[in-house]
Structure 1
Amino acid sequence: MSSIIDEINNLHSSLKAIVLNIFLIPFWYVAIYLFNNEFYKSADNLIMLAMCIVLSLVSTFLTSVMFYKADEEVKDDSEEDWYIIDLFSNSISLLCTWLSFLIFTVYSLGFLFNVYIYFYWFLVIYFFPLITFNLFFAIEKYYENKSKNKSKSTK
């Protein structure tokens, strides 16, 4: 076991960040089991694992971009490795919390009020805030650049 941890520590910082996505995979596995039981029963384990990995990578990427845009201070080159790991670990901890809350809430709705949500709508609810915040930061950056260009052209 220690050799696996040693190998992970020796990886490049971006690969370490991607390895952190392993923490999200069990949450997605549970979500597929609860909200798409037909797929869970009929699909091969390799296909489900691939789907969990893809969902984890996409959501971590969106959240990391959101955090990066929120904190646009230029980092020193010496802090670059630490910054990537910190960015991804913050993203994954936020996503684990969000996914846990969402699984609990949606499953409770079905259990308590007989309101059942399909996995597709679960994904829409999950990704909606991530995409919305990224669009918000992109629009903000666009108008910020537009105002900078306008002020430069008036001088």
Structure 2
Amino acid sequence: MTSTIPKTCNGLLCLFHFNQFCVSLWNPSINLKSKRSPAIVSRHDNIVRYLGFGYDQLNDNYKVVVGVSSLNDYTKTVTKIYTFGENSWKTLHNFPDNRCTYFGKSVSCTLNWILSKDGLCFNNEVILSFDLEKETHGEVMLPQHDCNSVFNHGMFVLSD
């Protein structure tokens, strides 16, 4: 597979092109596709650990957040953000690189992942929330639950 659709937002689809490590937007209703972003990384011995796509309402921009690890050292993840129209990737410093769910869920100008704080996915999980407007992140405690782990069950948005 050369591309995948990580998320939709306002009717737009964000396409991730695995063969070139870049993204583009597609509006299927009018069959219009944006230019591809520059490559996230220059080497192809990397793996995508997580990604998310959402809309920054304050700045009227669509953004993609991607965590990439080297196949040689899976323990270190570099998190990058791409703002459509700016044509460059920016590194997000101090972004947690623990194990988290693959696709971020977009809710009210934030991207959200379930994050395993200990990397093991057992009762030490929080929601990692990234504010698309401020480009900052924080943690939200999960409600009480009777599962061993919610990491493997996922997180869904019912309404935004």
Of the two structures, which has the highest relative contact order with CA contacts closer than 8 Å and spacing of 6 or more?
Answer: 1
Whether TM exceeds 0.5 here: the answer is no
Larger-Rg structure: 1
TM-score (normalised: structure 1)? 0.22
- Kindly indicate which of the two structures has a greater share of residues assigned to helix: 1
